[in-house]
A = this chain, B = another copy of it.
Amino acid sequence: MATIRDVAKLADVSVSTVSLALSNPARVSPKTLEKIRHAVAAVGFVADPLAQSLARGRSRMIGFVVGNVGNPFFGDIRRELENYALDHNHFVLVTDSSGKTAREKAMVEHLIGLKTAGLALAPSGHDQDYLDFVAGLNVPIVCFDQKVAGIERDFVGSDNHLAGAMLTEHLLQLGHRRIAFITGPSHMHTATERYRGFTDTMANAGVEVNPNFVVDGQFTRTAGYEAAMRLLIQLERPTAILGANNTVALSALQAMQELGFRCPEDISLAMIDNVQWSSVITPRITMVVQDTLALGGIIARRLMHRITNPQGAVEPPQDFVLTPKFVSGNSCRRV
């Protein structure tokens, strides 16, 4: 591998001039620049990013930290970020914490060690320890998905209260009154907001929420399945189930199928967030989806802004909250 000294020798200039010419061509005389360009081409010089990062104290890499890269929600955002970053000469490193806070911390620390220029982070924690950890990170960071109280960073996400409210309203309009809600973890902002959207809308409509109809699905497959089962074995069953996210809703669908309930004939179902291949799932689930492309675009732009603009680093954090979209399926029937 050719080094900058090889180039300097061949071009018959000093190493520092080569470095200067490469990073700021305008500050070098045209003929010197030409010599250096020739030499670079001749020896096939490519700057070592590691050495560069070490010397500069920062790299051209962006860390993307989420709990599940396989989730299409994160996948779409990743793609948007990646495209934008590549256009701006940055490189995205993806890491998956599997939702574990400890692993996330380790990964973030590793990324910081790599002198990443910035981080797109879907926070997995919420306690004081975690807040301190994030606050202590001295890099541009854009948080997304989960709004965590106490984190003073840019945030990009959707209006989750509205998402819950939209689906609840839809079910109410169809005549449902016995509506069940499968929640997510109570420490997650998305989960509590969606749930609030549900209860607020129910209250506004003057419909009481049956406490037995609120079960905890933890946003996971197993817990969602169990929660759904708990709903379905009740003597007085709900006429509609609202899943706080895609995983618990589809687990509920599976539980319904296994117990022989038909959807929507016996029980209606609605969910927040899309999944891959939702178009071939029968019935097509009525859902509220987030605009992942827009979210990804905003995250990308905001992060690159903070990274590239000198004063961008000190701008006060800002929240970007998008309106989710209602997508009608055929999983909800009129009662």
Contacts and interface: CB of A to CB of B under 8 A. Distances in A.
A19 interface: no
A50 B254 CA distance: 48
Contacts of A276: 70, 275-277
A253 interface: yes
A277 B275 contact: yes
B49 A54 contact: no
Contacts of A275: 276-277
A67 to B, nearest CB: 12
A213 interface: no
Interface stretch (A88-96, A140-148, A185-193, A295-303): A88-96
Most buried by B among A69, A275, A276, A280: A280
A112 to B, nearest CB: 10
Contact of A54 (B46, B51, B75): B51
Interface string A232-260: 00000000000000000010011001000
Given A93-B93, A95-B94, A280-B257, A75 B79 contact: no
A113 interface: yes
Interface in A24-66: 46, 48-51, 53-54, 59
Contacts of A48: 54, 113
Interface residues of A, number: 41
Contacts of A280: 250, 253-254, 257, 281
Nearest to A93: B93
A276 B277 CA distance: 9
B91 A94 contact: no
A110 B75 contact: no
A49 B98 contact: no
A161 interface: no
Nearest to A54: B50
B70 A96 contact: no
Nearest to A92: B95
Interface of A: 46, 48-51, 53-54, 59, 69-72, 75, 78-79, 82, 86, 91-96, 98, 103, 107, 110, 113-115, 250, 253-254, 257, 275-277, 279-282
Given A69-B70, A70-B71, 13 more contacts: A51-B54, A70-B72, A70-B75, A70-B276, A79-B96, A79-B98, A86-B103, A93-B93, A94-B94, A94-B95, A275-B276, A277-B281, A282-B282
30 contacts: A46-B113, A48-B54, A48-B113, A49-B113, A49-B114, A50-B50, A50-B59, A50-B115, A51-B54, A69-B75, A69-B78, A69-B94, A70-B71, A70-B276, A78-B96, A79-B98, A82-B96, A91-B110, A93-B93, A93-B94, A250-B280, A254-B279, A254-B280, A257-B282, A275-B277, A276-B276, A277-B277, A277-B281, A280-B281, A281-B281
